[in-house]
Amino acid sequence: MPILLVVGGGLFGSLAAAYARRQGIEAVVFDCQRSGAASPAAAGLFKEAWAGRKLGEHYRQALPVLERLCGLQSVLLQHDDGSPESFLFVPPRLILEPNPVRAEVTAVGDGWLEAAGQRHEGWVYLAAGVWSGAFMPGLEVHGKAGAAFAFAGERAGRIHPYAYGRQALAFVRDPGQTYFSDGTAERVYEDKHERESLLRAAALGLTDAPCRRYWGQRPYTPGGPLFVQRSPRTWVATGGRKMGTILGASFARRLVEEELR
């Protein structure tokens, strides 16, 4: 059985590798830690209403995969009027590949890749986010940037919708810290966007200086998320936008259970 070679150690790549190993397939993840990777900034929250009709089937396919690999958690966020809203939750730290090969992949072909001057052969899963287009001519993918923040201490979960389809939220994503995100995603990210985000954080009670800043570029592709077989032994998946956890799990199931032979 060929080995699965995964390009990218974000949510898409890490979930594919983890699910492949559960099915008895050896998997190696290559990730050189490029600045701007979106997955470490992900909130990890999701609910079926966010998936909508277009991504509803992905949502249903993803939940058993996430439960099996990571265990689903739940978190309760409080609206301004005191009403609660429940979400499912998987912290990115439980998903992201802990020890990828820290070598830059310089070329990808049908069933092979090159990294650090060495050629590796097997099934190839290109899940490199906004950088995927560098390996696949004609692949349209671009990034929209934003920042999330961590504040010292654990605060009660909060959520505040501030525009259509957008909300500021704060909750304990990782022990000892309160995570904040307002979903900002801009083709051109400027200082004013960061100031606006921090003002929204302050409105939720996070008035001290953040202890960590997560900056990343979410990948966008025309027409929505992309999963495609580009050649007999090479697949590409990108364009997760704000649904990386759900789509990463759904695509992992499809790759391992339906595509790999």
Here the CATH number for the domain that contains residue 9 is: 3.50.50.60
pLDDT bracket for residue 151 (50, 70, 90): very high
Residue 84 and residue 98 in contact, taking contact as beta carbons nearer than 8 Å: no
Distance of CA 244 to the CA centre of its chain: 4
- Predicted TM-score (pTM) of the model is 0.97
Helix pair angle (11-22, 48-69), 10° resolution: 40
> Could you read off the pLDDT of 83-97 as tens digits, one per residue?
999 999 999 999 999
Tokens of 204: 């939720």
Asked whether residue 162 carries a pLDDT value surpassing 90, the answer given is yes
DSSP-derived secondary structure letter, 66: H
Q: How many angstroms separate the CA atoms of 143 and 239, rounded? A: 9
Residue 140 and residue 221 in contact, taking contact as beta carbons nearer than 8 Å: yes
Whole domain around residue 203: which residue ranges? 4-259
> Could you read off the pLDDT of 166-201 as tens digits, one per residue?
999 999 999 999 999 999 999 999 999 999 999 999
Q: What is the pLDDT of residue 261?
A: 73
Q: How many angstroms separate the CA atoms of 119 and 113, rounded? A: 6
Q: How many angstroms separate the CA atoms of 28 and 3, rounded? A: 8
Q: What is the pLDDT of residue 19?
A: 98
Q: How many angstroms separate the CA atoms of 115 and 36, rounded? A: 20
Q: How many angstroms separate the CA atoms of 172 and 180, rounded? A: 9
Give the DSSP H or E segment for 245.
helix 244-254
Tokens of 59: 């949502």
Domain count, the chain: 1
> Could you read off the pLDDT of 201-247 as tens digits, one per residue?
999 999 999 999 999 999 999 999 999 999 999 999 999 999 999 99
Pairing outcome for strands 4-7 and 123-126: parallel
The backbone torsions φ and ψ at residue 49, rounded to the nearest 5 degrees and listed phi first, read -60, -30
Q: What is the DSSP string of 75-116?
A: EEEE-TTS-EEEEEE--GGGTS-SS-B---EEEEETTEEEET
> Could you read off the pLDDT of 50-86 as tens digits, one per residue?
999 999 999 999 999 999 999 999 999 999 999 999 9
**CA torsion 40→46→50→52, rounded to 10°?**
110
